[in-house]
Amino acid sequence: MSISVLGAGAFGTALAISLARDGRPVTLWARDLSGMDGENTRRLPGHAFPPTLKVTDNLVTASQAETLLIATPMQQLAPFLEANKTLFARKTLVACCKGVDLSSGRGPAEIIAQTCPSATPAILSGPSFAVDIAAGLPTALTLAADDGVALQQELSTANLRLYRSSDLIGVELGGALKNVVAIACGIAIAAGLGESARAALMTRGYAEMQRFAAMKGAQPETLAGLSGFGDLALTCTSEKSRNYAFGLALGRGQTPAENTTVEGKATAKAVSQTARNAEIDMPIADMVVAVLDQHITIREAAEMLLSRPLKEE
């Protein structure tokens, strides 16, 4: 099967490098080819393109592949698919973004199914940093698809080990919701609340993830896997995580960089509203939204969480 990666951000570039490093032909589509001479100097410098990796800015050419890995930011996924749904008809579309669409509340799988009904949707998610994948470091991810055996073989590489799942909802929600918790953890650490507070936020945040995912029909065990607990552990503890780093900046009273994709911002607002409508208790997500909207201070947020009624775990 032929493979193209659509989107030349750090993660899309890393996936293309890993796939091509094994000697298979891979096409990487970029909107702009500047800084793409032998490596992606703007998004992933220092990682050379393998000889079998072709880079193009021609989407028609890139979309001739049978399997398309969509590595656009989550909030751009719906308009990107809508604009190119004729090109993507009857393809296998693997969403590599993590989040929930702010305007519709949909996840990647639902967006693919509704926008490109003849395509086969899949989700690739889990604990990973682009620099690790590009460097050839061992990484394990979850691939969710209705029948993903062949796709699992196709996308696995020497350093990229894929575990298969049929729970598209659970896999996409694990990757989306952990970003919200990561922002909260970054805020807590930067505000001097301590490692114990972070551990509490991760644990109770994981409980929120499980409640929300169950309400959406996900399988409980999926959230305990790589795309749920695994990604949560990585994202909430490393400054390589854009969401955690964003929370750190907020907690320090800094203005985060505007040109960095932080999927947790939109996801927090989308899931908080959805949970409220469904009467699902998600205090950490609500706190993140209130801080983002500057309705409360960091100290007030901590006090709100600590003053909640005592209850059984």
Q: Residue 283: pLDDT above 80?
A: yes
pLDDT band for position 306 (50/70/90)?
confident
Q: Residue 179: pLDDT above 90?
A: yes
Report the CATH fold assignment for 176-306.
Answer: N-(1-d-carboxylethyl)-l-norvaline Dehydrogenase; domain 2 (1.10.1040)
How is 154-184 classified by DSSP, letter by letter? HH--SSEEEEEES-HHHHHHHHHHHHHHHHH
pLDDT band for position 248 (50/70/90)?
very high
Token duo for residue 115: 């926008």
Instruction: Give 124's strand partners.
Output: 143
- Quote the pLDDT of residue 264: 97
- Quote the pLDDT of residue 228: 98
Q: Residue 257: pLDDT above 80?
A: no
Q: Are 122 and 92 in contact (CB under 8 A)?
A: yes
Q: CATH 1.10.1040.10 spans which residues of the chain?
A: 176-306
Return d(Cα 70, Cα 73) in angstroms, integer: 9
Q: Are 203 and 117 in contact (CB under 8 A)?
A: no
CATH superfamily to which 3-166 belongs: NAD(P)-binding Rossmann-like Domain (3.40.50.720)
Q: Report the share of the chain in percent with pLDDT over 90.
A: 92
pLDDT per position as a tens digit, 224-245: 999 999 999 999 999 999 999 9
pLDDT band for position 280 (50/70/90)?
very high
| Higher-pLDDT residue of 147, 1 | 147
Burial class (CB in 10 A: 0-12, 13-18, 19+), 6: buried
* Active-site amino acid positions: 178
Residue 39, helix vs strand vs coil: strand
Residue 227, helix vs strand vs coil: helix
Q: CATH 3.40.50.720 spans which residues of the chain?
A: 3-166
Q: What predicted TM-score, i.e. pTM, was given to this entire model?
A: 0.95
CB within 8 A of 10, min separation 6: which ones?
A: 40, 43, 44, 130, 131
pLDDT per position as a tens digit, 157-168: 999 999 999 999
pLDDT per position as a tens digit, 95-150: 999 999 999 999 999 999 999 999 999 999 999 999 999 999 999 999 999 999 99
- Going from the C-alpha of 30 to that of each of 49, 82, 267, the distances in angstroms are 14, 18, 25
